[in-house]
Amino acid sequence: IIVQTTSEQYPVYIGKDAINRLPDFLNSAGYGKSKLLIITDKKVASLHLETVKMLLQNEGFSVIDFVVPEGEFAKTFEVFYQSHTYALEAGLNRKSLILALGGGAVGDLAGFVAATFMRGVPFIQIPTTLLAHDSAVGGKVAINHPLGKNMIGAFHQPIAVFYDLAFLHTLPLSELRSGFAEVIKHGLIQDQTFFKWLTENISGLDELIDEQLSYMILKGVGIKAAIVKEDEKESGIRAFLNLGHTLGHAIESEMGYGKISHGEGVIIGTIFALKLSMKELDLRFDLPGLIKWLDSLGYRTSVPAELNSEKLIAVMKKDKKTVTSKIRFVLLEQIGIPKLVELSDKTIHDVLVTMYS
């Protein structure tokens, strides 16, 4: 897939052994003599760092690596600062290149380090989670502030993405489930046929085969790329990618990060958005059928009982996507046709209370 933005275009290689194309790409893009810095997390380093390092070293590249903590612990000011210190001490310069080896958290951190190191150096995404099909393209990179997730960041597009399916084979089921939520999201907002294909063909996340994985990544990346092409800086339609995220983020932050995965939160938020769409936009949709399928895949489909609905509404209001005192939601007129809608607190409340089991 080629991702096109206003200023740049870059390739996304998806498939078995996709990583093997990295050396040739680097040489032909003029990075043969550059110092390469791999940023990865502890877990991914233990599983896949050697493979990538050996591949590059065998081809004569000069590679160093910096290993950061896993998950949101990678996206802190401290780790960001330590990454810069490491890069400076290692003698990286403007001709150097950063490789992000890991999931969305590593991609967001490494991308932001690349965006800011000496006013910006190029970087390459090597995603290792299913969720990262969403985060590795599009160029949004960020770290967190104690007052809000992804509050400090930049738009910095990678120069290429290498999505090797072999890396996904070590993913725990819970991470596959988290990433698959974004796959469903992409189908719902943009592609009815793909959404139908998912519901008819995916009956267990523990038995995904490479053909299914590559098809859903290809579709997901394709949909994301099409949206980013139209709206790189999120002034309009890119906001559709937030389907399910308004309530999802509120649930994530109220439960405490790590207590529920991002994707699980998004699924509950998506069911909520579908209910709102049926009420407000007359969407016709087999919601019980969807919930049954999601249940069978191991998702939670209701708001955890310990979360207070008033508190969730208050948290949603604080979300950065709010422009007025009313909350804007991504709803669906039909599958594949999203719409941004401002809703009153009462409407939100009335539907939210039906979301508890």
Subset of residues 249 to 268 that bind ligand NAD, contact rule: CB under 6 A: 262
Name every residue whose Cβ is closer than 8 Å to that of residue 327 and which is 6 or more positions away in sequence. 246, 313, 316, 317, 319, 342, 343, 345, 348
Q: Is 138 helix (H, G, I), strand (E, B) or coil?
A: coil
Name every residue whose Cβ is closer than 8 Å to that of residue 58 and which is 6 or more positions away in sequence. none
What does the per-residue mask of binding to ligand NAD show for 28-57, with x meaning CB under 6 A? Answer: -------------x-xx--x----------
Give the nearest residue (CB) to ligand NAD: 104
Name which of 94 and 169 has its Cβ closer to ligand NAD. Answer: 169
Structure tokens belonging to residue 262:
């991002």
Nearest of 199, 157, 174 to residue 287 by alpha carbon: 199
Q: Which stretch binds ligand NAD (CB under 6 A): 11-19, 67-75, 284-292, 337-345?
A: 67-75
What does the per-residue mask of binding to ligand NAD show for 137-176, with x meaning CB under 6 A? Answer: -x-x---------x----------------xx-xx---x-
Alpha helix stretches (DSSP H) within the chain: 22-28, 42-44, 50-58, 77-89, 104-116, 132-135, 165-168, 173-190, 192-201, 210-230, 245-255, 262-280, 287-296, 309-318, 345-352
220 binds ligand NAD (CB under 6 A): no
Integer Cα distance of 170 and 183 in angstroms: 19
Whether residue 77 is annotated as binding a ligand: the answer is no
Q: Which stretch binds ligand NAD (CB under 6 A): 97-105, 214-222, 273-281, 333-341?
A: 97-105
Whether residue 318 is annotated as binding a ligand: the answer is no
Nearest of 34, 65, 72 to residue 253 by alpha carbon: 72
Residue of 34, 83, 125, 128 that binds ligand NAD (CB under 6 A): 128
Residue of 59, 70, 280, 345 that binds ligand NAD (CB under 6 A): 70
3-state helix, strand and coil shares in percent for the chain, rounded to the nearest 5: 55, 20, 30
Whether residue 47 is annotated as binding a ligand: the answer is no
Q: Which stretch binds ligand NAD (CB under 6 A): 52-60, 96-104, 196-204, 279-287?
A: 96-104
CB 208 within 8 A of CB 197: no
Residue of 34, 116, 135, 277 that binds ligand NAD (CB under 6 A): 135
Nearest of 73, 94, 76 to residue 142 by alpha carbon: 76
Q: How far is the CB of 233 from ligand NAD (least distance, A)?
A: 12
Q: How far is the CB of 45 from ligand NAD (least distance, A)?
A: 9
242 binds ligand NAD (CB under 6 A): no
Integer Cα distance of 220 and 240 in angstroms: 14
131 binds ligand NAD (CB under 6 A): yes
Q: Which stretch binds ligand NAD (CB under 6 A): 12-20, 131-139, 209-217, 293-301?
A: 131-139
Residue of 134, 164, 191, 254 that binds ligand NAD (CB under 6 A): 134
What angle (nearest 5°) sits at the alpha carbon of residue 16, between those of residues 13 and 22? 45
Integer Cα distance of 337 and 65 in angstroms: 43
Integer Cα distance of 267 and 244 in angstroms: 6
Subset of residues 186 to 215 that bind ligand NAD, contact rule: CB under 6 A: none
Name which of 43 and 275 has its Cβ closer to ligand NAD. Answer: 43
Please state whether 325 falls in left (phi above 0), alpha (psi between -120 and 50) or beta: alpha
239 binds ligand NAD (CB under 6 A): no
Structure tokens belonging to residue 161:
């993405």
Q: Which residues are annotated as a binding site for Zn(2+)?
A: 182, 245, 262
Instruction: Report the interface residues with ligand NAD, using CB under 6 A.
Output: 41, 43-44, 47, 70-72, 75, 102-106, 108, 128-129, 131-132, 134-135, 138, 140, 150, 167-168, 170-171, 175, 178, 262
Q: Which residues are annotated as a binding site for NAD(+)?
A: 70-75, 104-108, 128-129, 140, 149, 167-170
